[in-house]
Structures are given as structure tokens and as C-alpha cells.
């Protein structure tokens, strides 16, 4: 299915990019940068939506936990985003690729004029063969301009750049029939043709301990993307080399088929 994809949006979650300490998982970030650089080199345009700014920033500021108040999250994001981009720029740079940072709020995509400006910036980055790296602009995105989770943001970005596919790298192998941590009989669903009530129920309201998403936000994102004609995959981010299998047309994770 993804064999002919020419432009792919990848979303990586906080739990993949950080350790339980909240600090950057350098090994994971490096491995992801290596695989995505290789994919970019093969002629596929890579777009990366990254989380983990708040987590990394909070630890760096010496906070014992992820801030619960808005100013705390805003402050942590400003600090963590620097370290995150430093690492991406370093690792993608080592493989000869150029990165560009875009920090977005909901308003930037909702407003017609802002969206057009944003599209122009993306198109020029693509022309220059650079890899856009996107996060929500957590230091200013509060109240009504907030997406709140990067699964949602990644689906909007995939629509905006007219991606052929959205690949969500998570801390779980894909979508299961039940929560595999609670139910031994839970099995991976390889393909979802249609996101119906049954699928939405199976996704439940799970939340991961370090990011803001869970399976429910991934299903919402998959719904938005597939309805826009974009194939969506949820797979484990700890084995990024499995992305090659996907691009060869083999089965990995859960594939949500585009409408
Ligand atoms: N934008 C948040 C961050 O960089 C992450 C949001 C999410 O986990 O979905 O920390």
C-alpha cells in the first residue's frame, strides 16, 4: 500500500523519544533520524511531527514531574524544544540532511491566510529537499488555539502537505482488540478498512504516562487522515527500521486504509 508513497508524515510520541526519567532517549532519536534520512535520500519527502519538548524541558528545569499548569508547560516547552531540535539537527545533519523547524498553533492551519502562508513555506522546504520538523507551539498555543495532542496535529499536517501516508510511531505495536496490558487475549488488528464505533470503543480512553495521547487520539487522527485519502499506520517506534518493510509493501503495525 505504501510502496508508491512520495511524501510521508511521521509522528513520534514522547514515550518513544524519552526515557522514564523524562530525558531524551538519544539512541531512539538517532535511530529514527538515521532511518528517516535514508528514506529522504531514497527520494521520498519526509515530514516529521515530534513531541517530547515538554518532557525534556521539564527535566532540564529540574522539575520533578510534567507541569500541570499552563505557564509551567509553556516554559518547559521553550526549553525542551531547543534540546530536541539540537539533537535532530545534529543527527539528521550527520546523515547529510537539512532540517527546518515549524512550531504551529491550530490558528495557523484553521485560518485561510495563515494556512496559505504555511503551505508556501512547506512547498519551498520541499523544493530545497529539507526535512520539516513540526511541533505544536506549546509556549503560545493555549485555550482555543491548541490542538493539545500531536496525533491530531500530525493528521492536520498530513492533510495540509497532501501527504500520501501518515505513520504514527508509538510505544505500542499497533491497535489491539483490547488493551494488551490488561487483557491477555488482546490481538493486533493488522488492517482497519473502516473506523467505526467498534474500533473507536476498542481504542478506549487510554493515555500514555508521558505524552498526552493514547490509542483514542490515534484513532481520531487516523479517521481525519483516512477521510482525506491518506493511508495511516500506527506502529512501534522502538524499531524504526520496520518502516522499510512498510515501504516494501509488507505488513507492520495497524494500517488504516484511506477512503
Ligand atoms: N507538544 C507536546 C510536546 O512537545 C506533546 C504533545 C503530545 O504528547 O501529543 O511536549
- From the CA of 182, how far away is ligand 1's center (Å)? 25
**Residue located via cell numbers 467505526:** 196
Question: To test the ligand 1 pocket, which listed residue (212, 216, 237) has its Cβ within 8 A of the most ligand atoms?
Answer: 212
Structural domain harbouring 201: 7-256
Q: Residue 105: inside a domain, yes or no?
A: yes
Q: Which residues pair with 131 in a beta bridge?
A: 99
For residue 148, the model assigns a pLDDT of 82
Alpha helical stretches, state H, 183-214: 197-203
Q: Measuring from atom 5 of ligand 1, which residue has the nearest CA? A: 51
Q: Of 135, 10, 149, 142, whose CA–CA distance to 80 is shortest?
A: 135
Which tens digit of pLDDT belongs to each residue from 96-132?
999 999 999 999 999 999 999 999 999 999 999 999 9
232 ligand 1 Cβ < 6 A:
no
135 ligand 1 Cβ < 6 A:
yes
149 ligand 1 Cβ < 6 A:
yes
How much is the average pLDDT of 80-104?
Answer: 98
For residue 198, the model assigns a pLDDT of 84
The proportion of the chain whose per-residue pLDDT surpasses 70, expressed as a percent, equals 96
16 ligand 1 Cβ < 6 A:
no
Helix (H) or strand (E) holding 49: strand 45-50
- From the CA of 51, how far away is ligand 1's center (Å)? 4
| Total-model pTM | 0.95
Query: What nine digits make up the cell of 74?
Result: 509553556
CA–centroid distance for 91 within its chain: 18
Q: Residue 202: inside a domain, yes or no?
A: yes
CA–centroid distance for 63 within its chain: 25
Q: Residue 42: inside a domain, yes or no?
A: yes
pLDDT for residue 206 is more than 80: no
Q: Residue 14: inside a domain, yes or no?
A: yes
Number of domains in the chain: 1
CB 76 within 8 A of CB 61: yes
Q: Residue 1: inside a domain, yes or no?
A: no
Question: To test the ligand 1 pocket, which listed residue (17, 53, 74) has its Cβ within 8 A of the most ligand atoms?
Answer: 53
Residue 154 main-chain phi, psi, to 5 deg? -65, -35
15 ligand 1 Cβ < 6 A:
no
Q: Residue 146: inside a domain, yes or no?
A: yes
- From the CA of 209, how far away is ligand 1's center (Å)? 12
Q: Residue 2: inside a domain, yes or no?
A: no
pLDDT for residue 144 is more than 80: no
Question: To test the ligand 1 pocket, which listed residue (70, 156, 211) has its Cβ within 8 A of the most ligand atoms?
Answer: 211
Average of per-residue pLDDT values in the chain: 93
CB 259 within 8 A of CB 226: yes
pLDDT for residue 236 is more than 60: yes
Q: What Rg value do the Cα atoms of the chain yield, rounded?
A: 17
How much is the average pLDDT of 135-150?
Answer: 85
- From the CA of 199, how far away is ligand 1's center (Å)? 24
136 ligand 1 Cβ < 6 A:
yes
For residue 190, the model assigns a pLDDT of 95
For residue 213, the model assigns a pLDDT of 57
79 ligand 1 Cβ < 6 A:
no
Domain at 65, CATH number: 3.40.1160.10
Q: Which residues pair with 231 in a beta bridge?
A: 165
Amino acid at each position: 500500500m505504501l510502496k508508491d508513497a512520495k511524501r510521508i508524515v511521521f509522528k513520534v510520541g514522547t514515550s518513544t523519544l524519552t526515557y522514564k526519567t523524562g530525558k531524551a532517549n538519544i539512541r531512539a532519536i538517532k535511530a529514527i533520524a538515521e532511518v528517516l534520512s535514508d528514506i529522504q535520500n531514497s527520494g521520498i519527502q519526509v515530514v516529521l511531527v515530534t513531541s517530547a519538548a515538554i518532557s525534556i524541558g521539564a527535566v532540564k528545569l529540574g522539575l520533578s514531574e510534567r507541569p500541570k499548569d499552563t505557564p509551567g508547560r509553556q516554559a518547559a516547552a521553550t526549553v525542551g524544544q531547543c534540546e530536541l531540535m539540537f539533537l535532530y539537527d545534529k543527527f539528521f545533519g550527520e546523515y547529510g540532511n537539512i532540517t527546518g523547524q515549524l512550531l504551529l498553533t491550530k490558528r495557523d492551519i484553521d485560518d485561510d491566510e495563515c494556512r496559505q502562508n504555511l503551505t508556501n513555506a512547506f512547498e519551498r522546504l520541499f523544493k530545497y529537499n529539507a526535512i520539516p520538523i513540526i511541533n505544536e507551539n506549546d509556549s503560545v498555543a493555549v485555550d482555543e488555539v491548541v490542538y493539545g495532542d500531536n496525533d491530531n496535529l500530525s493528521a492536520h499536517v498530513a492533510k495540509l502537505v497532501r501527504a500520501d501516508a501518515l505513520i504514527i510511531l508509538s510505544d505500542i505495536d499497533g491497535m489491539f482488540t483490547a488493551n494488551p496490558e490488561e487483557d491477555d487475549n488482546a490481538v493486533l488488528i493488522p488492517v482497519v478498512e473502516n473506523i467505526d464505533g467498534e474500533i473507536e470503543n476498542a481504542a478506549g480512553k487510554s493515555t500514555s504516562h508521558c505524552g498526552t495521547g493514547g490509542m483514542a487520539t490515534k484513532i481520531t487522527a487516523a479517521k481525519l487522515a483516512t477521510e482525506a485519502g491518506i493511508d495511516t499506520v500506527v506502529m512501534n517506534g522502538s524499531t524504526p527500521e520496520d518502516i522499510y518493510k512498510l515501504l516494501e509493501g509488507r505488513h507492520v503495525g495497524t494500517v488504516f486504509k484511506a477512503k
